[in-house]
Homo-oligomer: A and B are copies of this chain.
Amino acid sequence: MSTPRLGCVPGPAEKATEQDRRDLIVAVARELAEVEGWAGVSTRRLAERAEIDVGDLYRHFADLEALLAAVAVCAFADLAADLAEAHAEAASSPEGAWPAVASAYLDFAYTNPEVYDAMLALTPDLALGVDGVPAAPRAVFAELRAALAPLAEGRDPDTLAEVGWSLLHGVVMLTRGGRLRPEGQEEREALIAQRLLRWP
């Protein structure tokens, strides 16, 4: 994805506040990572691309790891917004929100593979119970839970939402890793969206 969204949109560079500058660095890192992979994100290349000093970069982020975590948090917020939008659009659907929300999740993950790795594979500090950060993944979880709760029918909605998230994450990772039939992708998504988590 090339367009940063939400709280991650930088203001005009000439009257940038410190927060704007921080947001700009996050947006540029995200874009650069998606184009070249995280291995291609160096402080030098980032500073060039964001048109700031390397010193500025370090004033905002202790290291590239801290910057990667900021990209992940920002991306979780965007994903949560995508899921909320899909839910709202499916409001009147007889099938409920789950098919639309699941599809929006998968679209985000396949469109932003590097950012998705930052969110779920490269950021051990975003685990539950870590101070300050878990709000971002929790927002995504809350959207999945809202879409799945109507399908719980006697099952615990938190557990169902955790299992639903696991299903989406697993299918993304195995599909991306080439472990599942490429020609079966559409059918897998249809099964997940329409005929799997409903009960009975």
Q: Which residues does A use to contact B, with CB under 8 Å?
A: 120-121, 124, 126-130, 137, 155-156, 158-160, 162-163, 165-171, 173-175, 177-182, 184, 187-188, 191-192, 195-200
Give chain B nearest CB distance to A21 CB in angstroms: 30
Complex Cα distance A102/B72, Å? Answer: 31
Complex Cα distance A124/B170, Å? Answer: 16
A188 touches B166 (CB 8 A): yes
Which residues does chain B contribute within 8 Å of A173, judged by CB atoms? 120-121, 166, 169-170, 173
Residue of B nearest to A180 (CB): B162
Complex Cα distance A175/B166, Å? Answer: 9
Give chain B nearest CB distance to A78 CB in angstroms: 17
Given A159-B188, A197-B196: A124 and B166 within 8 A (CB)? no
